[in-house]
Copies of this chain bind each other. A is one copy, B any other.
Amino acid sequence: MEIAILGGTGDVGEGLALRFAADTSHEVLIGSRDAEKAETAAGAYTAELDDRGLDGEVAGLENAAAAERADVVVLAVPPYHVGDTVEAVAESLDRGDILVSPATGMKRDEDGFHYHRPGAGSVTRIAAGAAPEAVAVVGAFHNLAAGRLSDLDVDLGIDTLVIGDDEDAKATVAGLAEEIEGLRALDAGGLANAAEIEALTPLLINVGSNNDGLGDLGVRFR
């Protein structure tokens, strides 16, 4: 399978790219609005994998070109770019392709981070609203700390919640997530359940910043 990570030059994109490349046999395509930035990032990730004796394949492309080649397209962009990004790649998606939304809206004040719920109900809903009809949207990878994800020395040992209204697409994404070592995918129902998942991300940051020794937090349901 080919996995495109749009916004793959950012923190979460880097982490997902490295983990997919290191732990699975899928081809990983870094997408960026700037093809050269994508190529540079892909080169850096490939070099890191090489350094570790891993031979994962990472290529860099402009977003639409990455989406064109991929079966699964992860929207690892800031929440306010999710809608634009889906629209920019919509014509490059084929029937049966899957869009994956990991972004969450947050604002910060003196007390910490807070969930900034968009008018659409969730960032995942924004992605779904902008997606072509023949393309399923699945929410996943929301609550993964970028620093932990991109440090391949760290064992994950955490869960990711997967939501979607298309059961086949949801199962495909859950399967991909579970191919990442130490990551367990749990089904959290339909897209309507996105907001509570997105709200967990600022909570993880608040818990991390208020407790010594607990940085880059993830969560295990048990």
Contacts and interface: CB of A to CB of B under 8 A. Distances in A.
Interface in A201-222: 202-204, 206-207, 209-211, 214, 217-222
Contact of A218 (B109, B158, B199, B222): B222
Contact of A190 (B111, B195, B204, B219): B111
- How many copies make up the complex? 2
A195 B114 contact: yes
A206 B217 contact: no
Contacts of A111: 189-190, 192-193
Contact of A210 (B157, B189, B222): B189
Contacts of A192: 109, 111-112, 114
A166 to B, nearest CB: 14
A203 B188 contact: yes
A221 B214 CA distance: 8
B222 A219 contact: yes
Nearest to A190: B111
Contacts of A202: 196
Nearest to A212: B187
Interface in A94-119: 109, 111-112, 114-115
Interface of A: 109, 111-112, 114-115, 157-158, 161, 186-190, 192-193, 195-197, 199-200, 202-204, 206-207, 209-211, 214, 217-222
29 contacts: A111-B190, A111-B193, A112-B188, A112-B190, A114-B192, A114-B193, A114-B196, A115-B195, A158-B222, A186-B211, A187-B207, A187-B210, A188-B203, A189-B206, A189-B210, A193-B203, A196-B202, A196-B203, A196-B206, A197-B203, A200-B200, A204-B221, A207-B221, A214-B221, A217-B221, A217-B222, A218-B222, A219-B222, A220-B220
